[in-house]
């Protein structure tokens, strides 16, 4: 049968020495245009192999999940089946899309026994090595409401939707042959506030749409940031928004 587990939250067990120097830059703002340029990456192949966040996964017809840590911007149907390897770690599927979109996920199959320590979790944002995007201070939801955990044989009926352009599926499936599958769709976000970018050069506009909230721009890899236009501490009328 299905049911929620009291097991503590999952977190992909990535080596701390491989954690990227994440840049977290935020200000309470009305509007700001920010130019971001990725720093040149070292040519040392050993350094490339130790990055905590791999490059985006290539398009696959069936999106079969094989790596413990997977980053993808593809939509569609994803499948995972456990191999039963000893000391099964907690793994993660990191989903990221365009800054003006949100991540929608729903599960159509679940076979993750609770009694073997299996657990699947949808995270509104990213969690990696104990760090969160967006941060606890910037996200509109309390931290406890950003995690939805489940296990068993009944897939959740709920359709999960992220608040920003990034979400995470964390999982631990110790028993061989068991697994789950889910669908991913990216839908438009009319009021993007917190944005995650992964190393491309571009111009991004942050605004709080008249709300008393903090907005943030987070780069996965080290980056150079240049503020092109700034409007902070001013009040705009609705016709200016």
Q: In angstroms, rounded to a whole number, what is the distance separating the alpha carbons of residues 186 and 167?
A: 11
Instruction: Please tell me which residue, 8 or 26, carries the higher pLDDT value.
Output: 8
Q: Is the pLDDT of residue 127 over 80?
A: yes
pLDDT digits (tens, 9 = 90+) for 180-225: 999 999 999 999 998 898 766 688 888 888 777 788 888 877 878 8
**Contacting residues for 178 by C-beta, under 8 A, at least 6 apart:** 81, 82, 111, 112, 113, 118
Rounded distance between C-alpha atoms, residue 16 and residue 177, angstroms: 30
Mean pLDDT score, 159-177: 95
90: pLDDT strictly greater than 80:
yes
- For 136, phi then psi, to 5°, come to -60, -35
* pLDDT of residue 173 exceeding 70: yes
Higher pLDDT, 89 or 185: 185
Q: What confidence score (pLDDT) does residue 18 get?
A: 32
How many CB atoms lie under 10 A from the CB of residue 32?
A: 19
The closest alpha carbon to 194, from 147, 145, 124, 143, belongs to 124
Q: State residue 170's pLDDT score.
A: 96
The answer, as to whether pTM is greater than 0.75, is no
User: Across-strand partners of 32?
Assistant: 206, 230
What is the per-residue pLDDT for 66?
Answer: 92
CA-CA distance, 57 to 63, in Å (whole number)? 9
CB 228 within 8 A of CB 35: yes
What does the pLDDT read at residue 234? 58
When pLDDT is averaged across residues 125-139 and rounded to a whole number, the result is 86
Res. 136 pLDDT band, cuts 50 70 90 = confident
17-26, 54-63, 76-85, 166-175: segment of lowest average pLDDT: 17-26
Residue 50 CA to residue 19 CA, distance in Å, equals: 9
Domains of the chain are: 64-190 (2.60.120.290)
Whole-angstrom Cα distance, residue 155 to residue 30?
Answer: 41
Contacts of 30 (CB under 8 A, 6+ apart): 207, 208, 210, 231, 232, 233, 234, 235, 236
Q: What tokens does 75 get?
A: 């939509």
pLDDT digits (tens, 9 = 90+) for 140-160: 888 888 999 999 999 999 999
Q: CB-based contacts of 3: which residues, under 8 Å, 6+ apart? A: 114, 150, 151, 152
Sheet holding 31-38, edge to edge: 202-207, 31-38, 223-231
The Cα 227–Cα 225 span in angstroms is: 7
Q: Which pLDDT score, from 0 to 100, does residue 59 have? A: 47
pLDDT at 27: 33
Residue range 19-73, pLDDT digits in tens: 333 333 333 333 445 554 444 433 333 333 333 444 455 444 579 999 999 999 9
């Amino acid at each position: 049968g299905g049911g929620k587990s009291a097991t503590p939250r999952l977190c992909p067990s990535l080596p701390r020495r491989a954690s990227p120097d994440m840049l977290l830059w935020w200000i309470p703002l009305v509007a700001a245009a920010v130019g971001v340029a990725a720093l040149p990456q070292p040519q040392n192949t050993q350094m490339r192999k130790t990055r905590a966040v791999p490059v985006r996964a290539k398009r696959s017809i069936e999106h079969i999940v094989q790596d413990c840590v997977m980053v993808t911007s593809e939509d569609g149907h994803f499948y995972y089946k456990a191999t039963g390897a000893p000391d099964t770690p907690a793994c993660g599927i990191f989903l990221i899309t365009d800054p003006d979109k949100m991540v929608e996920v729903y599960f159509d199959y679940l076979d993750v026994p609770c009694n073997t320590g299996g657990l699947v979790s949808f995270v509104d944002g990213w969690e990696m090595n104990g760090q969160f995007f967006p941060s606890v201070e910037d996200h509109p939801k309390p931290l406890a409401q950003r995690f939805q955990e489940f296990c068993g044989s009944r897939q959740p009926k709920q359709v999960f939707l992220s608040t920003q352009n990034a979400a995470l599926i964390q999982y631990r499936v110790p028993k061989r042959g068991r697994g789950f599958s889910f669908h991913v769709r990216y839908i438009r976000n009319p009021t993007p506030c917190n944005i995650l970018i992964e190393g491309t050069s571009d111009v991004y506009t942050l605004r709080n749409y008249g709300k008393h909230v903090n907005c943030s721009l987070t780069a996965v890899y080290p980056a150079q940031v240049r503020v092109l236009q700034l409007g902070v501490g001013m009040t705009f009328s609705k016709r200016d928004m």
